[in-house]
Amino acid sequence: MLFLKLSWESFRFAISALKTSLTRTILSLLGVTVGIFAIIAVFTLVDSLEANIKSSFSFLGTNVMRVDRFPYANGPQDYPWWKYFRRPPGTVAEYEFLEQNLTSAKAVTISASSSTTVKAGSNAYQGMQLTGAVYSYQDVYELTIEEGRFFTQSEINASRNMAIIGREIANTLYPQQEVIGKSIKIKGMKFTVIGVFEEEGEGLFDAPSKDQACLIPYGAFNKMYYTGRNGMEPTIAVQGMEEDIGLVALENEMTGLLRAKRGLKPRDEDNFALNKTEFIQNAIGSIFDVISVAGWVIGGFSILVGGFGIANIMFVSVRERTNIIGIQKSLGAKNYFILFQFLFESVLLSLIGGITGIIIVYFMTFIQLGTLEITLSLSNVILGLGVSTIIGVVSGIVPATLAARMDPVEAIRTN
């Protein structure tokens, strides 16, 4: 009860200080408002941009390791591409070997892709991403089918001419029509549509999207394209266990199995690369970490100016209310009461500036920046309020301490 009365009294004094010199208060709070706006705006843009970019690479899957010739990890300098170029690509035999022997994996799949044109009657769609896959493809990569179904194991084994297409392709070939069960032609071969992927929409970058994709059985793909070193290179991908942090166990097991399958001697260098899809996401995250630091630096200077402004308000407030402080202490007010009173006022003023900055950021989220969807997260709101509170405490602690230590007699005599 005492705390509530103290808070209410401090709140009244804070509002009184705001009304006494509204212009001065607004100008002083402008620094905090701009600072919080700068920090939260940068963080909001960074988080939104990072989420959009990572979603653009969702086609790579999560917790997935791929068998490739070229590693992701090496930088552009001293990149021995000529050595990696001579490496053999993955094969169906290696896929089957891994599928039979891996114990640290949820699923193993193999696929091959090519860009081509698909036709249906007089309509055609160019630049379609055609992928041939096996049944376990759906267990490794994220697939959401809006209409129809996925292939059965028997359809995959028999290399049936069936296809699952993206929403954009379906709308182009069969506008305003039911596409399930209809026929499409790919490189002169007729395929029956059995499913349509859920619409993803336009991404921030030109990353592959399910809207422009077509999935067919791996055997049907081999009827149209030669796969191997001099043809379309297949990709072996493995879904790791959730408890395998960093896919360490999976990487070690895959390395041993692939070396054994390829007949490498103990001293021979690996002629394959095991690429984790998380590497791309971590690389993206590290770039945005640097941008976030820049946001702290930019907003920090504004908050510093705002902190000095609030400290100035509090020093003036202490001087103007010296007589009141003397009267309060002569009537029995404790030092902590005076300290809390002015500290509460300082925090309240800082929070007003911080909330104003957050509100500006919130209205900024309604601005359409191309395909980028800006979202103000709860964590950034809490961060803004937390920083505002800290600035209020730091800015008001010295004036509040001076007020709490005043001698009541001298304070009453002060004009």
Average pLDDT, the chain: 83
Any idea which residue has 């960093």 for tokens? Answer: 246
Torsion angles phi and psi, residue 229, rounded to 5: -60, -45
The number of distinct structural domains making up the chain is 2
Kindly state the percentage of the chain with pLDDT values over 90.
27
pTM of structure: 0.65
Claim to verify: residue 105 and residue 19 sit in the same structural domain: no
CB atoms within 10 A of CB 336: 11
Claim to verify: residue 30 and residue 136 sit in the same structural domain: no
How would DSSP label each residue in 176-217? Answer: TS--TT-EEEETTEEEEEEEEEPP----SS----GGGEEEEE
Claim to verify: residue 292 and residue 263 sit in the same structural domain: no
Query: Is 256 domain-assigned?
Result: yes
Claim to verify: residue 118 and residue 167 sit in the same structural domain: yes
How would DSSP label each residue in 274-340? Answer: EEETHHHHHHHHHHHHHHHHHHHHHHHHHHHHHHHHHHHHHHHHHHHTHHHHHHHHHTT--HHHHHH
Query: Is 6 domain-assigned?
Result: yes
Q: Which domain holds residue 401?
A: 1-57+283-413
Claim to verify: residue 267 and residue 306 sit in the same structural domain: no
pLDDT tens-digit series, residues 300-316: 777 787 788 888 878 88
Claim to verify: residue 346 and residue 400 sit in the same structural domain: yes
pLDDT tens-digit series, residues 340-353: 888 888 888 888 88
Strand partners, 68: 273
Claim to verify: residue 110 and residue 228 sit in the same structural domain: yes
Residue after which a domain boundary falls, among 271, 296, 329: 271
pLDDT for the residue numbered 83 = 79
pLDDT for the residue numbered 85 = 82
Claim to verify: residue 133 and residue 184 sit in the same structural domain: yes
pLDDT tens-digit series, residues 237-254: 998 887 777 788 888 999
- Reference 28, options 323, 377, 246, 345; nearest CA is 345
Query: Is 305 domain-assigned?
Result: yes
Claim to verify: residue 176 and residue 259 sit in the same structural domain: yes
CA distance 200 to 91: 31
Indicate the range of 21-25, 265-269, 309-313, 334-338 predicted with least confidence: 21-25
Torsion angles phi and psi, residue 138, rounded to 5: -70, -20
Query: Is 70 domain-assigned?
Result: no
Residue after which a domain boundary falls, among 213, 239, 271: 271
Query: Is 254 domain-assigned?
Result: yes
Query: Is 79 domain-assigned?
Result: no
| CA 41 to each of CA 35, 119, 357: distance values in angstroms, whole numbers, following the listed order | 10, 46, 9
Claim to verify: residue 298 and residue 385 sit in the same structural domain: yes
How confident is residue 15, by pLDDT bands cut at 50, 70 and 90?
confident
Claim to verify: residue 165 and residue 193 sit in the same structural domain: yes
Claim to verify: residue 252 and residue 146 sit in the same structural domain: yes
CB distance 318 to 395 below 8 Å: no
pLDDT at 194 over 90: yes
Residue 109 φ/ψ region, left for φ over 0, alpha for ψ in the -120 to 50 degree band, beta for the rest: beta
How confident is residue 217, by pLDDT bands cut at 50, 70 and 90?
very high
Query: Is 62 domain-assigned?
Result: no
